[in-house]
A and B are shown apart, each in its own frame.
Chain A
Amino acid sequence: MSTSALRAAMIPVTRRVRAYFAPVDRVTGLPAVFDPAKHGMFLLDAPPAPWRDLGWIDNLQRTCATATEAIHAGARGATLTQFRGPLDARVEFDFREWGKLQMALAGGAEHMNVLAADPNANAQPSGGIPIPAVAVLPGSSESEVIFGEGAVDAFSIGDLLAIDVDYQQQAGYVSTGVVAAYVKDPLDVRRDANYVRRVTFNVGRVVGKTATSVLLAQPLLGGVPPVGAAAQKVTAFVDREGGSFFQDWSALFVLQEESGGRVCFYYPRLSPSAGGKDTVTFQRENSVEIAKPIASVALHASFVALPHTDENDTETVLCYRSYFPAETSALY
């Protein structure tokens, strides 16, 4: 009988991949950080701040296009040494669940909230002149928005709301909490006071009401409504092919552990990119058959990784792969 010790299993097994995103600070350029020591084995339904759960994804493909160059020397031209050429890493996958964030990330440019329009307004593909906003009162929180008696009657349970400040005719990034667009010239947005609410990520669905306020199903992404905020009804979301703005988010992908070991992929900065160097066409949606002709529709997302400097050694890197071995598993 053999007495040699068995080596514990070392194979990560997974069933699905879950995606989490967090906004990059566009002013400082600082990404959201995934620290394996602090956040590693978090409950998948309760990601640590500031990460947002964007649900299960399919067809995750991480590709590396970083070239390894070589210096050849000697009479036979042997490789003397190697170095890394231009860094290039890409990520593609399908969002299986649709929402404001999923659409914005898959679309890549400004993502529009179609504000409920005045019935007499001219038709516009991203929404015409909207019904006037209702002012948000102080004391509101990210989950309860106070309008006051009477004013709250403008909204009903089930309504989608965009909640943010009026556009102040400034040039630069706009929206509260999460940057949603960049305005080069106020004339570009027709000095529209509603412009910020047309693009803001601060959207919520009304699930309850009090005499003076509405209660939201999910907290506002940008946090507590700022002073001067107002709310308007949203009827739909729109993204567009084109636009000059690029979304810039940190991303974390977690392979759901089945056998104990967890694998995470952390990208400090991902920027939307319509396919790699060799991609001729780019499919925006994928159809996943349920039973012919019924199919679900998945949002295809494609990104290029932007560089980040690791403070521990000042190396420039694009992504991190972390592995949390299963308890008692062998290490090599």
Chain B
Amino acid sequence: MQFAKDSFYMALRERLGSLNPARTVMVDGATRPTVIVAENELPSPASPLPDAFYIDWGSARVVQNHAGSRALAALDCVISYCTSGTTGSEVDRGRTLGTLGGELFSICQPPQTRKQDFTRIPSVDLGTSIFWTLPELSEIRSSLSGALTSGGDAGRHARMERRALLTVFFFFEVTLL
């Protein structure tokens, strides 16, 4: 499963680096495209960085009726991003959120990539691809002084955020008996 998670992350990261080279973030002293796997970072109570895509992995299961000698697995994924806009007045926060959503759709295309073992250098192609559903965007949420609201008045607050849901499919490395 880790190979699928790593391959998805690397695909999005490389695609964002090509699509918008300026969208980078400094994490632990290193500049990189702003695709961040939350579980791979140091635990922190701080709020998520703005204008960055955070990947959180959810439940996993074997897809029924799709077991060959290798089981087809489904892994839920949440990609969240937030922004306060790019100007001091924050009046472009809605537009910036829209831009981020557009970039997310772009880097999720094509909706497949080769599954690779990134624990080895150079990485090793594992022979199959992972593929995923298109992102499904949830409603906008916003926060003011840490309190989250959502719905029609979300745009009134300074920090707006959105979550995108998708499912990643891949063939397990385990042979089914």
Contacts and interface: CB of A to CB of B under 8 A. Distances in A.
B177 A290 contact: no
A121 to B, nearest CB: 30
Contacts of B69: 55-56, 97
A291 B133 contact: yes
A294 B175 CA distance: 23
Contacts of B66: 96, 288, 290, 296
A209 B99 CA distance: 49
B65 A291 contact: no
Contacts of B169: 290-291, 294
A44 interface: yes
B63 interface: yes
Contact of A16 (B67, B72, B74): B67
Contact of B68 (A44, A96, A290, A294): A96
Contact count band on B? 10 to 19
A288 B63 CA distance: 11
A16 to B, nearest CB: 7
Interface in A284-304: 288, 290-291, 294, 296
A56 B67 CA distance: 8
A291 B133 CA distance: 8
B68 A58 contact: no
Interface string A29-56: 0000000000000001100000000011
B54 interface: no
Among the interface residues B67, B68, B72, which one has the most CB atoms of the partner chain A within 10 A?
B68
Nearest to B70: A97
A97 B131 contact: no
Given A58-B65, A290-B169, A45 B72 contact: no
A288 B69 CA distance: 16
Interface in B2-29: none
17 contacts: A16-B67, A44-B177, A45-B175, A55-B68, A56-B67, A56-B68, A56-B69, A58-B65, A96-B67, A290-B63, A290-B74, A290-B169, A291-B74, A291-B133, A291-B167, A294-B133, A294-B169
Interface of B: 63, 65-69, 72, 74, 131, 133, 167, 169, 175, 177
Given A44-B177, A291-B74, 20 more contacts: A16-B67, A45-B175, A45-B177, A56-B67, A56-B68, A56-B69, A96-B67, A96-B68, A97-B68, A97-B69, A288-B65, A288-B66, A290-B63, A290-B66, A290-B72, A291-B169, A294-B131, A294-B133, A296-B66, A296-B72
Interface of A: 16, 44-45, 55-56, 58, 96-97, 288, 290-291, 294, 296
